[in-house]
Amino acid sequence: MSFRLERLLGPDDLAEQLRREARDGLTATPKRMRSRWLWDAGGSALYERIMELPDYYLPLAEQAILETRAGDVAASAHPRTVVELGSGSSVKTRILLDALPELERFVAIDVSESALAKAGPRLAARYPHVDVLGVVGDFERHLPGPFAETLVVCLGSTIGALDPQDRAALLAAVAGALGTDGALLLGLDLVKPVERIVAAYDDAEGLSAALIANLLLILNHELAADFRPERFRSEAAWNPELERMEMAVRSLAAQTVTLRRLTSSSSSPRARPSGPRSRRSSGVRASSESSRPPGFASTPGGRTTPATSRYASPGPSRSAGRPRSTRSRRPTRAAAAPGV
Ligand SMILES: C[S@@+](CC[C@H](N)C(=O)[O-])C[C@H]1O[C@@H](n2cnc3c(N)ncnc32)[C@H](O)[C@@H]1O
């Protein structure tokens, strides 16, 4: 059995990328961040619990499809390598791997190191003949390849959380990396009765809301922001025009948030004078006075084409989450949550 972890995204890259995106996204109107920033160890842990929710039908539906069709996929793709994008726990992927006895290599790429560190050894133990590699990276930036005789897999409507142009860029990159003997397996939700979709993101435990609010925790932790999650409400709502779920955090009142660590550590040390002037000059203040809170939305899946993507505007018309779920659960960071 073999499992290796490769880090393409070190703490410095991560911080630098987040700084850049937060600077652009939180000063834009409406404020927005990529759904990729929902994910860290807390996000992954929340998503594992979300997958167990009875109303969150996606995992079971995808599992049933894989159980029925894994043999067909294996027969038509017969890959030597499987590359999974946004692999998470890779639990459903096992159904596919079980149908690929000749497989030589499995590469899982995810921004969440904790998810890879948990899933990798389990996969290596289950498939001792397969070389298992976990890549800590952003599949929008660190797509491995080019590949030969490879099946790229992306499950759980993960691609639905990308903006249309980002999705197109990713699919083009995958197509380029796959060459002529590769294949792509995409798991995406279809449009269905809205109540069913909304119920999937409106759990009584507030897990989905906590996942959305994880963005605030990540910003607090990584960029020394002072978001107070209890002053925000997580929302997930169906956009009938675009036929997608949209997620956001909405400020409950006008407020100003400061992100103190918004300049690169190489050009400016973290320890700075703490007076308001220096804080302002080194950070960015995100104000929600116009009822446009720092927010984002991602779509966990709306239709066959990746129809969901994060975005924040005045916001969805109703809250899908419970405000209490955005409260602090981890003492050292304001709260916890992953993303869809
Ligand atoms: C909705 S979960 C799906 C997990 C898994 N594919 C499944 O079906 O159970 C999305 C996963 O993609 C990862 N992810 C999101 N954006 C990513 C990005 N840009 N690059 C790499 N991984 C990403 C998250 O960490 C998370 O594990």
The secondary structure of 75-101 as a DSSP string is HHH--SEEEEET-TT-TTHHHHHHT-T
The β-bridge partners of 135 are: 6, 109
- Measuring from atom 24 of ligand 1, which residue has the nearest CA? 86
The pLDDT, as a whole number, for residue 75 is: 94
pLDDT bucket at 79, cuts 50 / 70 / 90: very high
113 by DSSP, 3-state: which?
helix
Residue 248 has phi, psi (to 5 degrees) of -155, 160
Angle between helices 207-223 and 11-25 (to 10 degrees): 110
CB of 111 within 6 A of ligand 1: the answer is yes
Distance (Å, rounded) from C-alpha 324 to C-alpha 7? Answer: 35
pLDDT of residue 222: 93
pTM for this predicted structure? 0.81
User: Among 32-36, 90-94, 129-133, 261-265, where is mean pLDDT lowest?
Assistant: 261-265
pLDDT reported for residue 306? 22
Q: Is the peptide bond before 11 cis (omega within 30 degrees of 0)?
A: no
Q: What is the pLDDT of residue 302?
A: 25
Position 178 scores a pLDDT of 92
Confidence (pLDDT) at 227: 97
Q: Is 3 in the pocket of ligand 1 (CB under 6 A)?
A: no
Q: Is the CB of 112 under 6 A from ligand 1?
A: yes
Average pLDDT, the chain: 80
| Whether the predicted pLDDT of 292 surpasses 50 | no
Are 252 and 233 in contact by the 8 Å Cβ rule? The answer is: yes
| Terminal Cα distance for the chain, rounded | 31
Q: Give the CA distances from residue 82 to residues 71, 107, 168, in Å, rounded to whole numbers and listed in that order.
A: 15, 6, 21
Q: Is the peptide bond before 146 cis (omega within 30 degrees of 0)?
A: yes
Mean pLDDT check: name the lowest of 16-25, 97-106, 160-169, 329-338.
Answer: 329-338
pLDDT digits (tens, 9 = 90+) for 213-248: 999 999 999 999 999 999 999 998 898 887 888 889
What's 12's DSSP letter? H
For residue 327, the model assigns a pLDDT of 29
Whole-number Å distance, alpha carbon 239 to ligand 1 midpoint, is 22
Q: How confident is the model at residue 280, as a pLDDT?
A: 32
The SS3 call for residue 184 is: strand
Task: With a cut of 60, say whether residue 338 has pLDDT above it.
Answer: no
Nearest to 137 by CA among 249, 243, 36, 208: 36
Check residue 39 and give its pLDDT.
Answer: 96
Q: Say if residue 154's pLDDT is above 50.
A: yes
Ligand 1 atom nearest to 39, measured from its CA = 25
173-182, 276-285, 322-331: which has the minimum mean pLDDT? 322-331
Name the band, by pLDDT with cuts 50, 70 and 90, for residue 183: very high
What does the pLDDT look like over 95-112, one tens digit per residue?
999 999 999 999 999 999
pLDDT of residue 262: 85
Task: Tell me which amino acid residue 83 is.
Answer: V
Task: Walk me through the domains of the chain, giving residue ranges and CATH numbers.
Answer: 11-31+194-326 (no CATH), 58-186 (3.40.50.150)
